A and B are shown apart, each in its own frame.
Chain A
Amino acid sequence: MTSSNFRSWPLYLILTVISMPLVIMYVYLFVDTVTDTTAGSLIPDRFTLHHWRFLWEEPETGRVSIWTVTLNTFIFATCTTLINVSASVTAGYALSRLNLPFKRFFLGGILTLHAFPTITLIISIFLILQMIGLYNTLIGVILVKAALELPLGIWIMKGFFDNVPWEIEMAGLQDGASRFTVWWKLVLPQVQPGVAALSVFVFLSAWSEFILPQVLAPSGSAQVLSTYLSNLIFDDMKPDFNMFKSVGVFYALPVIIIYLIFNKQLMNIYGGGTKG
């Protein structure tokens, strides 16, 4: 909101000053990947593609190729999204529209589950996966990640279903369709924006996930980009920040692209689920 009563420049000044550190970090994050800087100086002085060599060079012994790791990350994020969204869409509809025994109990339970974040579960999940032999596999991490995001997913989808007018369903039933057909043919198309938003949200969340792969699948073959990058940083005695940043930018690119495309939908979910 702008108004003639107020001047805007003090706001600009304060906002610019406090945003400075972040902006500097963003700018250097990108600039450093293609330049070299003389030690002790702040201004980069030569152009180079040397820091991106991890893309085409053979990996050092003991390390996995970045492309394998990227593929793993993609499989991890996609499967997590599929499982999470399908379970959320059905459960959200049941909780929003269908007759259920113990409905209050289920709803309260799902809200309470949200109070169990990773650390409270990960120790026993770690032991469970070891007992059933899914430790160090992508399948294990996918299942766990999809489950941990489920309460939020159900809650968001319930919000979207709540906003669909009852008249649509009543009209469908009047015309002789079953409850299932009504859901599949009439209601689901209505909540498409919700499904899209939730998919993007879960995909990004899985793409960024660090703790679960780190604990549940630490070995080379099931590595994902987050653990790859953190191992790279952790192993190095003399840090090569330009190279870390190149891997980081490579890792963050899908996130940034998705963010640019789905800006609005994401704000909706991060801003507390649905409108209202």
Chain B
Amino acid sequence: MRRAHLLGLGFLSPALAIILMLFLIPVLLTVMFSFTNMSTATGISGGAYEINAASLRKLADAGAQESFVETLGKESFVVDDAGITAAAAAYGEQFANEVGSQMLGERFSSRRDLERAFRKLKSRPRSTRDIKKAANLFKRSVLNIRFETAGGLVGAVTDNGIEMTPDQQELLTKTIYTGWTWTSDNFALMAQIPYVWRVAGNTVLYVVLTLAASVGLGLFLAITTFYLPSSSATSFRAIWFLPRILPNVIFVLMWKWLAWDTGFLSSLFANFGVPPRNWMLDTGVNAWVFIVLINGIVGASLGMILFGSAIKSIPQSMLHASEVDGASRWQQICYIILPQLRWPIMFICAYSTLSLLTSFEYILLSTDGGPGGATEVWSLMAFHTALDNYAGNLQYGLGAAMALMLVIVGILASLVYLRIFNFNDLVAKPRIEQ
């Protein structure tokens, strides 16, 4: 590598470091996470093995034999050294020695059996209650104990005298693991979600309608303000540029106020005898109208600026010449302005398709996908699944798989755009070889 390269790389390195950490690694991790079943329930670090009431139910659901589940859940009584030491401390050496010499290593499946065996001993505690207590000292169970490894769990289960076939062992360790595991089920799960096709349809509808609204309105604003004297054009442009620059929380707040059941529209229509209602959320169609308006107006601001500067760069002489020839304004627009705007329009369409496909902030803030999922789009579904839902169990893995779909679409689309918009022109060779 030449010295000159080092200077360039040095200049690039801060940006590269940030991009590596917060773009490349997250994208790779998104791919990784989408092949796991990570969720709030599994946690994000490693898990553990624990048999408890809930995991036994899970085990039964996963198809383990009933008898096997039952044995796991049962307590057993084992006469071992630990129990004997405890008994010695509580009921004296004599009793402990007798238990040790006569019963060491024996197992009992219920406490009653162990108590019966104790009663045969000479130095047993006198009261029934004490015998019960003594028996409890020998209770051994795998219930509610955390094991870090599968081996630890299997060892403990076997120590308790529960025999497992290899199949049962595999099923057990797989089912009761509380951490996340690798899986490719997310994509199958995604296809099984009953409303997933509706969400996909919503997404297409959202992109198409909003794009049409913003390009149409943007063109209209750019052309009309072009024909106005500059002072009034500036004020109209300011009115329509503000939505782009206002924080989205405030912009949506204004629309909510407009649509609320105590808001502007309701108060206005009350004069005509229409009962007040929440105009944004009362039907799916209304919600769509608001979504398209809110996003469309924000898009139109950008369109207005871009198209406006493109119109300004059209040579004035063309317009003057057409006027001398008696062209109407409509003819000027159709034959001079619009053909010149072909590239800006294509650029806006390309750029907005991508950003609309993945933007959901305005929908989240205004309807949050409602009413009843009518305005849920793909990116919002991913967000809801992974980061914000009412059920409280955030499914990171499934959400990452949904986001991965968007990543794939995004990469494909931008490759196509790089072709269309002539990437080679953007890369010029440096003229200093140092």
Contacts and interface: CB of A to CB of B under 8 A. Distances in A.
In this complex, which of B247, B328, B358 has the most chain A Cβ atoms within 10 angstroms of its Cβ?
A: B247
Contact of A111 (B2, B257, B347, B414): B414
A108 B358 CA distance: 20
Contacts, number: 290
B258 A118 contact: no
B245 A42 contact: no
Q: Which 8 A-B pairs have the closest CB atoms?
A: A91-B15, A147-B22, A98-B8, A94-B11, A208-B247, A115-B410, A124-B29, A100-B8
Nearest to A211: B361
B332 to A, nearest CB: 9
Contacts of A229: 249-250, 253
Contacts of A160: none
8 contacts: A99-B434, A103-B427, A108-B423, A110-B19, A123-B387, A229-B249, A241-B260, A245-B253
In this complex, which of A2, A97, A124, A230 has the most chain B Cβ atoms within 10 angstroms of its Cβ?
A: A124
B84 to A, nearest CB: 46
Nearest to A131: B44
A116 interface: yes
Interface string A2-33: 11011010011011000101111110110010
Interface string B242-255: 11111111100111
Interface in B225-260: 225-229, 232, 236, 239-250, 253-258, 260
Interface string B15-32: 110110111011101100
A211 B386 CA distance: 14
Contacts of A115: 354, 410-411, 413-414
Contacts of B14: 86-87, 90-91
Given A111-B414, A123-B30, A147-B19, A210 B365 contact: yes
Nearest to A130: B44
Contact of B247 (A124, A146, A252): A252
A138 interface: no
Contacts of A71: none
B187 to A, nearest CB: 16
Interface in A233-276: 233, 239, 241, 244-245, 248, 251-252, 255, 259, 266-267, 270-272
Contact of B5 (A22, A100, A116, A119): A100
In this complex, which of A126, A144, A154 has the most chain B Cβ atoms within 10 angstroms of its Cβ?
A: A126
Interface string A131-175: 100000000000110111011001000000010001001100100
A128 B254 CA distance: 35
A255 B27 contact: no
A75 interface: no
Contact of A93 (B11, B19, B27, B427): B11
B387 A122 contact: yes
Nearest to B412: A115
Contacts of A95: 12
Contact of A120 (B38, B254, B270, B358): B358
B309 interface: yes
A196 interface: no
Nearest to B355: A117
Given A115-B411, A180-B7, A266-B245, A144 B12 contact: no
Interface string B395-434: 0100110011011001101110010000100111011111
A255 B250 CA distance: 11
A81 interface: no
B206 to A, nearest CB: 14
Given A39-B262, A162-B428, A208-B248, A3 B323 contact: yes
B329 interface: yes
A34 interface: no
Given A88-B15, A91-B15, A173-B432, A42 B224 contact: no
B45 interface: yes
A90 B245 contact: no
A99 B430 contact: yes
A91 B20 CA distance: 14
Contacts of B255: 25
A207 B382 CA distance: 25
A104 B427 contact: yes
Given A2-B229, A94-B11, A119-B383, 11 more contacts: A12-B232, A25-B254, A28-B264, A90-B12, A91-B14, A99-B8, A99-B434, A119-B382, A143-B22, A226-B249, A259-B245
B136 interface: no
Given A28-B257, A120-B27, A123-B396, A94 B8 contact: yes
Contact of A124 (B241, B254, B364, B400): B400
B434 to A, nearest CB: 6
Interface string B316-359: 10010001000011000000000000000001000000110011
B77 interface: no
Nearest to A19: B239
A245 B257 contact: yes
A53 interface: no
Contacts of B426: 107
A126 B253 contact: no
A1 B11 contact: no
B14 to A, nearest CB: 4
Nearest to B381: A119
Given A42-B264, A97-B430, A146-B18, A112 B414 contact: yes
A47 interface: no
A251 B248 CA distance: 11
A101 B4 CA distance: 10
A41 interface: yes
A63 interface: no
Interface in A200-217: 204, 207-208, 210-211, 215
Contacts of A211: 361, 364
A87 B23 CA distance: 15
